[in-house]
Chain A
Amino acid sequence: MHEYSITESILTLALEKAREADAAKITQINLVVGELSGVVAECVEFYFNFISKDTMAAGADLSFVTKPTSVRCHKCDKIFTPKDGDWSCPECHEIGIDIVTGRECYMESIEVE
């Protein structure tokens, strides 16, 4: 269900950009999705095929680049990827971090003809 609303947003944005460029057909949509965004690529593809049917995005390929989670230690600025749910700093063992990557959910580009 979540993916359904995400997919609707993807389709709307892609169609808007393609129209602005006077394109006739969208062949590919390039997406960047973080591990923490909770977006499941397979579900998006499933819904996309279904809702894009009667649009110029019908048959377009969806490409997903997954961004791994990375965080920055407040104390020593080390950037690391938490392992096994351990979010403390491997360098100074301090707790307290900012999420740097992993939340992404954006459209990098579309390919049209």
Chain B
Amino acid sequence: MAIKVIKVGEDILGANEETARTNKQKLDKDRVFTINIMSSPGAGKTSVILSTINKLKDRIKMAVIEGDVASSVDAEKVEALGIPVIQINTAGGCHLDANMVESALNGLPLEETDLLFIENVGNLICPNAFSLGEDRRIMISSMPEGDDKPQKYPAMFADTDVILLNKTDLQPYLDFNFDVFKKTVTNLNSDVTIFLISCKTGEGMEAWFSWLEGEVGKKKDQAA
């Protein structure tokens, strides 16, 4: 039988992009400002979410989607603060995708939510390839990981809107060179906003909170 070549020319992750667009529409309808938080394991995603909830919970209605691989400890910490949270079980998977987020959204009170945190799986290799429907991508990099992380994972750093450089309280014990870090990051991504923070001491967190509050306000003011 003759062999026929069929031209395809389609992105392999095209279906994910489509679902991400549907998620975005849903979130836009209820004007929920949504951030996709990515980092390597232990950089401080949950710590940032918990500190931010504690700071803003009287002023902003928040919800969380937790995508950590193994357990539900992070989700339990969020729940203890009285915030709606859905745990996604990725069954060992290395990233969240738009389908997983789609089903999680069905379990959240979106009309009652102004700010949605999505904690992605701790991994610097692939989560950036999967849009979830977020407004902004936030990367957390922590000083103990070293100032050469952006060189090792350029695509992740090129795709983010904001970088939170966490654990600045540990700077005295490390050789972390901020100028090198900043230069590499700006090279890959000239529009990125960097905040230096410490979840432990609270240093630098105010600037992050006010950026976030500003963005939530902007989305709320958008015409429905």
State the A residues within 8 Å of B (CB). 1-2, 5-6, 9-10, 12-14, 17-18, 21, 23-24, 27, 31, 36-38, 74, 82, 85, 87-88, 95-97, 99, 102-103, 105-113
Is chain B's interface secondary structure helix, strand, loop, or mixed overall?
A: mixed
B interface list, Cβ under 8 A from A: 1-16, 92-95, 97, 125-126, 129, 148, 151-152, 154-155, 158, 183-184, 186-188, 190
> Complex Cα distance A87/B15, Å?
32
CB distance from B9 to the nearest CB of A (A): 7
* B4 and A21 contacting across the interface, CB-CB below 8 Å: yes
B8 and A105 form a contact (CB under 8 A): no
B contact residues around A110 at 8 Å (CB): 5-6, 8
- Which B residues are CB-close (under 8 A) to A5? 93, 95, 97
B188 (CB) vs chain A CBs: closest residue: A87
Residues in A neighbouring B126, C-beta threshold 8 A: 2, 38
For A109, what are the chain B residues with a Cβ–Cβ distance below 8 Å? 5-9
Which A residues are in CB contact (< 8 Å) with B94?
Answer: 1-2
Given contacts A36-B154, A38-B126, contact A113 B148 (CB under 8 A): no
